[in-house]
Each structure stands twice: as C-alpha cells, then as structure tokens.
Amino acid sequence: MPRKRRYYREERRRPVYLDEEDDWEDDDDEPEDLERTVSKVSWGLLAVLSFGVLLSIAHSLYPLAAPLSSNDGYRVVSVSRGRLHVEELGTGKQLSIDDQQLVKAALDGSIKRGDVIRR
C-alpha cells in the first residue's frame, strides 16, 4: 500500500515567536521616517498638480492652429497634355490646372508626384 502524501500549507507551519528580548529598536525612528516620506509624497503630488494646472492654462491661452481648408492646398497627381493634374487636400476632388509655369516645373522635376502646392 502506497504512503499517503501530506501537503503542508503556510497556515499549518509552526508559528515563529519572537523573543521578548528582541524588542524592535527602530520604533523610535519611525515617526521621523514617516514624516519625511509624507513630506516627499506631498511635495511630489503638489508638483504634479501644479504642472497639470500650468498645462491647462497654456492650452486655454494658446489654442491649436486651425486645420488647412480644402481650398488652400493641392497634391500633385500627374502632368499630361500641357496640364497639371492635382487633387484637393480637403475633399480629394480631381482638378486640372493650366498654369504653364507649374507644368514646366513638373517637367523639370522640381515638382514631383505627391508634392503639395498652395495657391
């Protein structure tokens, strides 16, 4: 007949008793350490909160720039038949521009496919 396995848990172990002579000597220093820790934590919390307040004030004073309107820019698609074919940035609408300076710049290579042109 096989032996029974015994499983021990933490709770079943014998309790560890401290000797009465081994009294904690650091108890006198604990309130000072606790005060220092509380002081450090409170200053850190104050710094984080003040940083958040400064960010919110800066955000309200300096709003983000407005996005580009659809009429401001065009993306170059191609050049053919003496015209520059572009699409509007905002709407994606295809247009053909008959500006000969732009066509020459595109044929030179100074304006390439994917470049943004502003009027």
pLDDT digit string (tens) for the chain, length 119 residues: 667 766 656 566 666 666 655 555 555 556 678 888 888 999 999 999 999 999 999 888 887 766 655 567 889 999 988 899 999 888 888 989 888 988 999 898 888 888 888 86
Q: Residue 47: what pLDDT?
A: 96
Give the phi and the psi of residue 108 in degrees, each rounded to 5: -70, -30
Number of domains in the chain: 1
Task: Determine, yes or no, domain membership for 113.
Answer: yes
Task: Determine, yes or no, domain membership for 6.
Answer: no
Task: Determine, yes or no, domain membership for 88.
Answer: yes
Separation between Cα atoms, residue 2 and residue 98, nearest integer Å: 97
Task: Determine, yes or no, domain membership for 12.
Answer: no
Give the phi and the psi of residue 94 in degrees, each rounded to 5: -80, 135
Task: Determine, yes or no, domain membership for 108.
Answer: yes
Q: Residue 23: what pLDDT?
A: 53
Q: Residue 55: what pLDDT?
A: 92
Q: Residue 24: what pLDDT?
A: 54
Q: Residue 36: what pLDDT?
A: 86
Task: Determine, yes or no, domain membership for 91.
Answer: yes
Task: Determine, yes or no, domain membership for 114.
Answer: yes
Task: Determine, yes or no, domain membership for 51.
Answer: no
18: number of Cβ within 10 Å:
8
Separation between Cα atoms, residue 115 and residue 86, nearest integer Å: 10
Q: Residue 34: what pLDDT?
A: 81
Q: Domain span at residue 104?
A: 73-118
